[in-house]
């Protein structure tokens, strides 16, 4: 034993005493005594003047050696409405430090829920609000813990102090809920929950004393059993050697599908979280997620009805036999008609003349206004062989969505931002194939075949150079990934330009941007909401307002990114960038264009427009 | 003269260094006379809120940041900040409003205030749902008709109230004018308001910006009101400083009894907090009004508790120092007060419908349930405003008086009231006409339960009980708030209800019919069935056991249903 504790350097006499005592102890005794000596030790340390009287007892060396052994982390979390929980938590943390523990004190407003699965020992002080609910600030935490996304917590140990008011029906409801839920998630309760009425001081103090005595005693015993092996966390980067690809998509599970657009919005933008767990798939910020989409079953049914075809009719596709219903659902584009379909249908129905009489413009307009189903309804045909019908169709293609998350913050997940395309045609509501699928049918727990599409031309600079991000609407997605990446791994200055319709309802990921501004991950942000004022304001207007600084950033080596709508925003922003350079550098327009081309060549002007 | 004042504990007042006082004191002191970073915060496009400290400073400018609490959770999940918006309270001394001002306010409410407007329990207007970028247009719009929102909230002297009782039109006009004079005298003098809201340049000056208030203003809000007995419509006992007009034999105002230390707010489960009815300490002649106001306010300014905000109202200073000491301190500054003169109140309710005053002018008081005006009502009242030659008065019970109508014009106004259907508002039960509720959910940040949205339904149910006991013509005061802070003065109602949690209320009984006595907690934290059950029982007894002309509040005490509250500080016993 002595050799194992060589750093302590007790005298031989002291060792004899310790060993003699040790041989006579039950485990409970040993546990208690370890706490006793630990307490004594910290008392000696605090009065270090008296320690020196006994030169052989080198207390500090015990402590320095002990630190890495005290392996379990301790977090004190307070969820407060009026400040009482916070006050008690501060007191608890102070006492813990006095007892030689090393707690992290955190208020729920600053607590990242994802941290929960890394917690080891967690002491929670929570008050209750309304009908057994947590305080407002704790709502998100409770939703996470009580929701589907909650991780199992087999390694967590916890204790809860609940504050409440007896005159309410759901007395200490929040504390009770949390206690039950943490237990259900596999966490171990360190000591029973205490529920306090409005005169909480005494029960709270008793709870605090109890839990700290327990933890301090344990830490002391951890020190004495010095042989405890330290866990090595080999953080080797996993390469993307997944078996899943575009040809063999991963059947991912949808974790959540949230509408980001607030009440009364003219938009309907979804935030969809997808689990990549156990897929081996990895990605980098800037990459896209390939979605193997399918058609709305209602649409398939409507089409079959228009064709008077049997959904169960067998069909062979690439050597595989399937039903017509399945094939139309999964294998073919059945919404927008192509010129080829028009020709095909014209031949089948003998109406080729009608379509060939149209010039190109008219035909394009006709295809815009008439989907496959509309053409079939306008020029119906009975008794057609299903195989003949699908010969005129294109195969259904996967769709790409910019990934809106970073694995550094959201391991095993990919998030996407989707604004479904919805419109009316021939009096019927229609929606985009993939966007409609994602918005309406990619509900939580449903399965979505996905793969990663690398996008090496949309990447954060490798050395933390400043970045200017410009995006409108769902074009914001890759920048959320950028920010998460920089939040986790650091980086230089950043400046976001975001545009949408209305501030109140369409500020996508607003609270996250606010947090990044607050914690400095994001340096500056400009927003343009086109429908808030009498005059329409777009991102390019904000860029022009800040022309001087934008140019200065470029001159200082900033990377500039553009993501979103290819038809209006991208050319408008591009033009304003040329103007900014032209005016700020006092050069000809051609030279300004050349400046931007150079940036693009150097990979400092990256675009992801669609 | 200061040496005549016995020494007192000064450990919590303005004499102490800021670090020993509540953080709000430092905030005020460091605000550069209420400027803070308000002007900058208005320009921040990333949030519809303003920075934390500015929220408190903006109250001094009459502006409260609020958010729609009903969509808070939904928006949090949507990663959107709360739906922040602002409540803006107008300074309208005595509740007097010309037709021109009415129309402007009505237009502003329709343009920027979600087409709704509140008439408050302190005789003024509140705009709700005003977005940050619309604050400046609202305040500049008010400025066009020479109105402002200075000190409508904050640690300062709030809007000054004055009775609307039209029985003595000349006296009432005089009182309203005094209310305006006093209000103009007691508001903050900082130019911050002009700079931030009107965009005026800061003028360098060697004069002190706040000669009376100094950098830290009052310890807490301070409320002043004027009344003429026998109608106590403004609830004089709920004011920090109340002036009760005493009419001389010549029919003119001989002077005022001075009442101090009233206030409503309390905190649940905090026995050191309580409502208090004001104490009458003496009489002054009208010429001493300003000097006595200064004396009373400065005593509170100098001795009020600035360490503990929950004990900072004047009522606690009065109780902590003792009424005698406070009176001495006031007299030390303003000279001796004469003995209080006799007076008598009979009611604190409004008189609805037509009243003709002794000068031959006519007045119509229109019941506006909980002071809540919607677009339809605003449009109808605007029609009256376009032809009305007199003015409007906002009553302390959240109603609207169309005042000073000449006999020749009365038929036109009467016809409009009928044509628009407004006149039907007055065809309500006596209970409803004697009720008040604060705004509460979903906008008020303090509310724990609904108030103005719920009280109308609850009253309908209580009306059923009253009808059953044949009490439907009995005036009973009923007031509800969504929290214990007491905006609708629930603690002096015969039946008081204050919110504890959604659908749960504390029930108070035993208040004085004309606001002279506090009520006491009867049932705690109960829902509607229990409220109705409790009221059914007590009202049933009242119906059978009451004495002739005995008011409900008095009865509950005589019958031993509730113990009388003799002084505010004993109300939690």
Using the 8-state DSSP alphabet, how is residue A396 labeled?
A: P
Q: What pLDDT was estimated at residue A46?
A: 41
- Reported as a pLDDT band with limits 50, 70 and 90, residue A42 is very low
Residue of A211, A188, A399 lying closest to A290 (CA atoms): A399
pLDDT at B449: 96
Chain B within 8 Å of A535 (Cβ-Cβ)? no
pLDDT of residue A319: 86
A148 touches chain B (CB under 8 A): no
Between the CA of residue A353 and those of A338, A388, B339, B454, what are the distances in Å?
17, 20, 109, 69
- Inter-chain residue contact B269 with A198, CB threshold 8 Å: yes
ipTM of the complex: 0.86
Query: Of B12, B97, B153, B438, which is the active-site residue?
Result: B438
B519-524: average pLDDT: 96
Which member of B28, B101, B122, B221 is catalytic? B221
Cβ contact B79–A512 (<8 Å): yes
Q: How far is A187 from chain B (nearest CA, A)?
A: 26
The pairing of beta strand A559-564 with beta strand A605-609: parallel
> Quick one: pLDDT band at residue A221, thresholds 50, 70, 90?
confident
Q: Residue A112: which pLDDT band, with cuts at 50, 70 and 90? A: confident
Residue-level pLDDT at B167: 81
Q: Which helix (H) or strand (E) covers residue A215, if one does?
A: helix A201-224
* Active-site option among B35, B118, B158, B500: B158
Report which of residues B267 and B461 the model is more confident about: B461
A140 touches chain B (CB under 8 A): yes
Cα dihedral A44/A50/A53/A55 (nearest 10): 40
A504 at B interface, C-beta within 8 A: yes
Q: Evaluate if residue A370 carries a pLDDT over 50.
A: yes
Active site residue B12: no
The residue ranking higher by pLDDT, A11 or A607, is A607
How high is the pLDDT of residue A227? 38
Query: In terms of CA atoms, which chain A residue is nearest residue B45?
Result: A527
The answer to whether the Cβ–Cβ distance between B46 and A198 falls below 8 Å is: no
The shortest C-alpha distance from B82 to chain A (Å) reads 9
Q: Are strands B391-394 and B478-481 parallel, antiparallel or unpaired?
A: unpaired
Residue A531: CB partners within 8 Å, gap ≥ 6? A266, A501, A502
pLDDT over 70 (residue A64)? no
Q: Does A525 sit within 8 Å of B48, measured CB to CB?
A: no
CA separation for the pair B193, B223 (Å, rounded): 21
Q: Are B242 and B228 in contact (CB under 8 A)?
A: no
CB contact under 8 A, A261 and B78: yes
For residue B509, what is the enclosing H or E element? strand B504-509
- Residue B444 among the catalytic residues: yes
For residues A451 and A16, the model is more confident at A451
The answer to whether B500 faces chain A, any CB pair under 8 Å, is yes
SS3 A403: strand
pLDDT confidence of residue A56: 35
Share of chain A above pLDDT 90, in %: 64
Which residues does chain A have within 8 Å of residue B46's beta carbon, measured at their own beta carbons? 510, 513-514, 517, 525, 527
Choose among B45, B83, B269: nearest Cβ to A504: B83
> What integer is the mean pLDDT of B213-241?
97
Q: Would the pLDDT of A6 be above 60?
A: no
In terms of DSSP H, where are the helices of B211-361? Answer: 289-303, 314-321, 323-334
> For all residues of chain A together, what is the average pLDDT?
86
CA distances to A109, A382, A470, B186 from A312, rounded to whole Å, are 55, 17, 49, 85
Catalytic hit among B327, B444, B500, B569: B444
- Give the pLDDT confidence of B110-160 residue by residue, as tens digits: 999 999 999 999 999 999 999 999 999 999 999 999 999 999 999 999 999
With CA atoms as reference, the chain A residue closest to B74 would be A262
Greatest extent of chain B over all pairs of C-alpha atoms, in Å: 71
Question: Residue B205 — very low, low, confident or very high, per pLDDT cuts 50/70/90?
Answer: confident
CB B87 within 8 A of CB B126: yes
How much is the CA Rg of chain B, to the nearest whole Å?
23
Do residue A517 and residue B448 have CB atoms under 8 angstroms apart?
no
pLDDT tier for residue B3 given thresholds of 50, 70 and 90: low
pLDDT bin (cut points 50, 70, 90) of residue A309 is very high
What's the distance, CA B73 to chain centroid? 31
3-class state of residue A590 by DSSP: helix
CB B153 within 8 A of CB B62: yes
pLDDT in tens, B477-491: 999 999 999 999 999
Q: What is the DSSP letter of B203?
A: P
Q: Which of A16-25, A435-444, B364-373 has the least mean pLDDT?
A: A16-25
pLDDT of residue A3 exceeding 80, the answer is no
- Do the strands B117-119 and B125-130 form a parallel or antiparallel pair, or are they unpaired? antiparallel
Q: How confident is the model at residue B358 (pLDDT cuts 50, 70, 90)?
A: confident
pLDDT at B26 over 90: yes
For B429-449, the pLDDT digits (tens) are 999 999 999 999 999 989 999
CB contact under 8 A, A262 and B75: yes
Q: How distant is the Cα of A129 from the closest Cα of chain B, in angstroms?
A: 8
Percentage of residues of chain B with pLDDT beyond 70: 99
The reported pLDDT for the residue numbered A51 is: 32
Average pLDDT, chain B: 95
Both tokens assigned to B425: 């508002």
- Tell me the residues of chain B between 107 and 136 that have a Cβ less than 8 Å away from chain A: 131
Q: Is A505 on the interface with B (CB under 8 A)?
A: yes
| B43 in reach of chain A (CB within 8 A) | no
Contact: A130, B74; criterion CB under 8 Å: no
Q: Reply yes or no on whether B221 is catalytic.
A: yes
Residue B223 has pLDDT above 60, yes or no: yes
Chain B residues closer than 8 Å to A542 by CB: none
Q: How confident is the model at residue A216 (pLDDT cuts 50, 70, 90)?
A: confident
**What is the pTM assigned to this prediction?**
0.81
Task: Say whether pLDDT at A225 is over 90.
Answer: no
pLDDT of B359 strictly over 50: yes
* A:182-211 residues touching chain B, CB 8 A cutoff: 198
pLDDT tens string A261-278: 999 999 999 999 999 999
> Which pLDDT does position A19 carry in this prediction?
66
When pLDDT is averaged across residues B521-543 and rounded to a whole number, the result is 97
More confident residue, A98 or A504: A504
- CA distance to partner chain A, nearest, from residue B367 (Å): 33
Q: Is residue B565 predicted with pLDDT exceeding 50?
A: yes
Tell me how far apart the terminal alpha carbons of chain A are, to the nearest angstrom. 70
Q: Is B438 a catalytic residue?
A: yes
Catalytic residue flag (residue B97): no
Mean pLDDT of A427-446: 96
Residue A469: CA count within 13 A, CB half-sphere = 29
Q: Do B80 and A260 touch (CB under 8 A)?
A: yes
Q: For B64-102, what is each residue's pLDDT tens digit?
A: 999 999 999 999 999 999 999 999 999 999 999 999 999
* B78 near A CB under 8 A: yes
The residue-averaged pLDDT of A79-100 equals 87
Picking from B79, B83, B501, the nearest residue to A168 by CB comes out as: B501
- Point out the least confidently predicted range of A47-61, A241-255, B84-98, B409-423: A47-61
């Amino acid at each position: 034993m002595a050799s194992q504790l060589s750093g302590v350097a007790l005298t031989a006499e002291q060792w004899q005493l310790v060993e003699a005592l040790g041989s006579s102890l039950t485990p409970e005794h040993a546990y208690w005594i370890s706490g006793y000596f630990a307490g004594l030790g910290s008392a000696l340390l605090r009065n270090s003047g008296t320690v020196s009287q006994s030169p052989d007892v080198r207390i500090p060396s015990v402590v320095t050696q002990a630190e890495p052994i005290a392996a379990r982390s301790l977090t004190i979390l307070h969820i407060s409405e009026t400040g009482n929980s916070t006050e008690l938590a501060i007191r608890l943390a102070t006492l813990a430090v006095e007892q030689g523990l090393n707690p992290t004190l955190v208020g729920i407003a600053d607590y990242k829920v994802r941290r929960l699965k890394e917690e080891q020992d967690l002491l929670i002080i929570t008050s209750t609000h309304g009908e057994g609910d947590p305080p407002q600030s704790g709502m998100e935490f409770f939703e996470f813990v009580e929701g589907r996304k909650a991780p199992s917590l087999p390694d967590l140990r916890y204790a809860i102090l609940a504050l409440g008011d007896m005159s309410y029906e759901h007395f200490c409801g929040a504390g009770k809920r949390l206690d039950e839920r943490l237990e259900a998630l596999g966490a171990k309760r360190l000591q029973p929950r205490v529920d306090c009425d409005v005169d909480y001081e005494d029960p709270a103090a008793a709870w605090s004393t109890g839990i700290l005595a327990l933890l301090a005693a344990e830490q002391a015993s951890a020190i004495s059993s010095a042989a405890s092996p330290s866990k090595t966390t080999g953080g080797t980067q996993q390469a993307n050697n997944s078996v899943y690809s575009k040809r063999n998509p991963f059947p991912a599970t949808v974790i959540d599908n949230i509408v980001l657009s607030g009440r009364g919005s003219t938009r309907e933008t979804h935030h969809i979280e997808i689990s990549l767990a156990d897929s081996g798939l990895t990605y980098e910020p800037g990459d896209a997620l390939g979605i193997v989409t399918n058609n709305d079953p209602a649409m398939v049914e409507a089409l079959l009805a228009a064709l008077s075809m049997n959904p169960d009719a067998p069909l062979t596709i690439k050597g595989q036999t399937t039903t017509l219903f399945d094939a139309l659902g999964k294998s073919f584009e059945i919404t927008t008609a192509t010129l080829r379909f028009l020709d095909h249908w014209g031949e089948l129905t003998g109406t080729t003349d009608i379509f060939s009489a149209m010039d190109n413009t008219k035909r394009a307009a006709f295809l815009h206004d008439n989907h496959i189903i509309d053409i079939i309804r306008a020029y119906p045909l009975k008794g057609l062989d299903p195989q003949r019908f699908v010969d005129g169709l294109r195969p259904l293609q996967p769709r790409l969505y910019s990934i809106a998350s970073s694995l550094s913050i959201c391991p095993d997940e990919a998030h996407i931002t989707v604004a479904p395309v919805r419109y009316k045609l021939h009096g019927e509501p229609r929606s985009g194939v993939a966007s409609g699928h994602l918005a309406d049918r990619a509900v939580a727990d449903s399965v979505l075949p996905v793969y990663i599409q690398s996008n090496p031309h949309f990447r954060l600079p490798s050395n933390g150079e400043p970045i200017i991000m410009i995006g409108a609407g769902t074009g914001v997605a890759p920048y959320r990934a950028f920010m998460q990446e920089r939040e986790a791994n650091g980086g230089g200055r950043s400046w976001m330009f975001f545009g949408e319709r209305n501030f109140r309802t369409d500020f996508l990921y607003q609270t996250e941007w606010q947090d990044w501004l607050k914690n400095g991950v994001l340096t500056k942000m400009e927003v343009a909401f086109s429908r808030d004022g009498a005059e329409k304001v777009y991102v390019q207007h904000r860029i022009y307002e800040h022309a001087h600084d934008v140019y200065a950033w470029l001159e200082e080596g900033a990377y500039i990114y553009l993501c979103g709508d290819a038809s209006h925003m991208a050319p408008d922003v591009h033009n304003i960038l040329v103007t900014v350079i032209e005016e700020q550098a006092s050069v000809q327009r051609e030279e300004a264009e050349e400046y931007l081309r150079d940036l693009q060549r150097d990979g400092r002007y990256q675009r992801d427009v669609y | 003269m200061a040496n005549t004042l016995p020494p007192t504990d000064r450990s919590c007042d303005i004499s102490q260094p800021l670090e020993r006082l509540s953080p709000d004191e430092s905030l005020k002191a460091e605000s550069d006379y209420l400027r803070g970073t308000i002007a900058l915060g208005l320009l921040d496009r990333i949030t519809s809120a303003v920075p934390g400290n500015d929220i408190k400073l903006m109250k001094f400018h009459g502006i409260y940041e609020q958010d729609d609490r009903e969509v808070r959770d939904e928006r949090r999940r949507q990663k959107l900040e709360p739906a922040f918006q602002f409540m803006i309270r107008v300074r309208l001394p005595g509740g007097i409003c010309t037709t021109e001002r009415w129309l402007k306010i009505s237009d502003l409410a329709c343009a920027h205030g979600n087409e709704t407007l509140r008439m408050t329990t302190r005789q003024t207007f509140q705009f709700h749902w005003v977005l940050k970028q619309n604050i400046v247009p609202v305040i500049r719009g008010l400025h066009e008709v020479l109105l402002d929102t200075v000190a409508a909230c904050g640690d300062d002297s709030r809007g000054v109230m004055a009775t609307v009782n039209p029985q003595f039109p000349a006296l009432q006009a005089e009182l309203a004018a005094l209310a305006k004079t006093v209000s103009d005298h007691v508001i903050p003098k900082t130019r911050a308001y002009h700079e931030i809201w009107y965009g005026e340049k800061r003028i360098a000056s060697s004069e002190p910006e706040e000669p009376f208030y100094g950098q830290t203003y009052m310890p807490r809000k301070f409320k002043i009101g004027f009344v003429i007995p026998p109608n106590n419509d403004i609830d004089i006992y709920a004011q920090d400083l109340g002036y009760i007009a005493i009419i001389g034999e010549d029919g003119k105002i001989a002077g005022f009894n001075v009442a101090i230390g009233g206030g409503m707010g309390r905190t649940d489960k905090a026995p050191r907090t309580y409502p208090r009815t004001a104490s009458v300490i003496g009489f002054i002649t009208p010429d001493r009004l300003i000097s006595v106001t200064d004396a009373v306010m400065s005593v509170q300014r100098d001795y009020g508790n600035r360490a503990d905000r929950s004990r900072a109202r004047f009522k606690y200073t009065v109780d902590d120092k003792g009424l005698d000491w406070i009176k001495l301190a006031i007299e030390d500054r303003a000279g001796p007060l004469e003995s209080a003169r006799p007076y008598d109140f009979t009611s604190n309710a409004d008189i609805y419908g037509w009243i003709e005053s002794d000068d031959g002018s006519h007045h119509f008081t229109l019941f506006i349930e909980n002071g809540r005006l919607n677009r339809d009502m605003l449009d109808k009242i605007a029609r009256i405003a376009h032809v009305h030659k007199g003015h409007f008065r906002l009553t302390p019970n959240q109603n609207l008086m169309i005042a000073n109508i000449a006999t020749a014009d009365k038929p036109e106004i009467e016809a409009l009231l009928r044509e628009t259907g407004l006149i039907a508002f007055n065809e309500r039960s006596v209970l409803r006409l004697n009720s008040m509720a604060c705004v509460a959910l979903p906008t008020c940040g303090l509310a724990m339960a609904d108030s103005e949205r719920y009280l109308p339904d609850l009253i309908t149910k209580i009306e059923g009980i009253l009808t059953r006991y044949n009490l439907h013509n009995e005036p009973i005061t009923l007031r509800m708030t969504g929290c214990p802070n007491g905006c609708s003065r629930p603690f002096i109602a015969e039946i008081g209800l204050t919110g504890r949690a959604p659908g749960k209320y504390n029930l108070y009984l035993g208040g004085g019919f004309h606001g002279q006595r506090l009520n006491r907690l009867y049932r705690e934290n109960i829902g509607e069935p229990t409220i109705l059950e409790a009221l059914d029982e007590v009202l049933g007894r009242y119906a059978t056991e009451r004495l002739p002309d005995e008011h409900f509040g008095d009865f509950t005490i005589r019958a031993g249903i509730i113990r009388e509250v003799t002084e505010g500080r004993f109300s939690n016993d």
